[in-house]
């Protein structure tokens, strides 16, 4: 059974940092990408970042470039999202997903996703 378990969300002041973790199990970790998506109340889901567990390639939405860093510990089957310089507009539920493909366009980050985690809340106060 594929499982993606997020942790690390919480409440932080603007300018602060959080590190999200996604522990994956039930599949061959190296064969897939892991992507983070987020959804704020009343807004569509948005791709945030993605990493290839195979070769470490990374992708970022323009809105988080330079502030967020995605990394992978293949020995632990875990992906991390380090979020620095957080802004109130980063407030959302963050989802870890398993993706067969990740890509960026001139407006967004996208992915072909087949599994979602349960999500973790990130709240940034002003």
Task: State pLDDT tens for residues 15-30.
Answer: 999 999 999 999 999 9
pLDDT bucket at 106, cuts 50 / 70 / 90? confident
What is the reported pLDDT for 53?
81
Residue % of the chain over a pLDDT of 90: 94
Statement: residue 54 has pLDDT above 90: no
pLDDT exceeds cutoff 90 at 81: yes
Structure tokens, 64: 């988080």
> pLDDT tens for residues 41-50?
999 999 999 9
Give all strands (DSSP E) within the chain, no chain letters: 3-7, 10-13, 18-25, 33-39, 46-52, 58-60, 68-73, 78-83, 92-104, 109-116, 120-125
């Amino acid at each position: 059974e594929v499982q993606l378990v997020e942790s690390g969300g919480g409440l932080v002041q603007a300018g602060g940092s959080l590190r999200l973790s996604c522990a994956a199990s039930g599949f061959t970790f190296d064969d897939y990408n892991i992507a983070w998506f987020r959804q704020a109340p009343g807004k569509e889901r948005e791709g945030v970042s993605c990493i290839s567990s195979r070769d470490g390639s990374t992708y970022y939405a323009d809105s988080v470039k330079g502030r967020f860093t995605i990394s992978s510990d293949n020995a632990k089957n875990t992906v991390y999202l380090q979020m620095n310089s957080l802004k109130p507009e980063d407030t959302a539920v963050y989802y870890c997903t398993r993706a067969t493909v990740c890509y960026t366009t001139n407006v967004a980050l996208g992915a072909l996703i087949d599994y979602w985690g349960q999500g973790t809340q990130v709240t940034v106060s002003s």
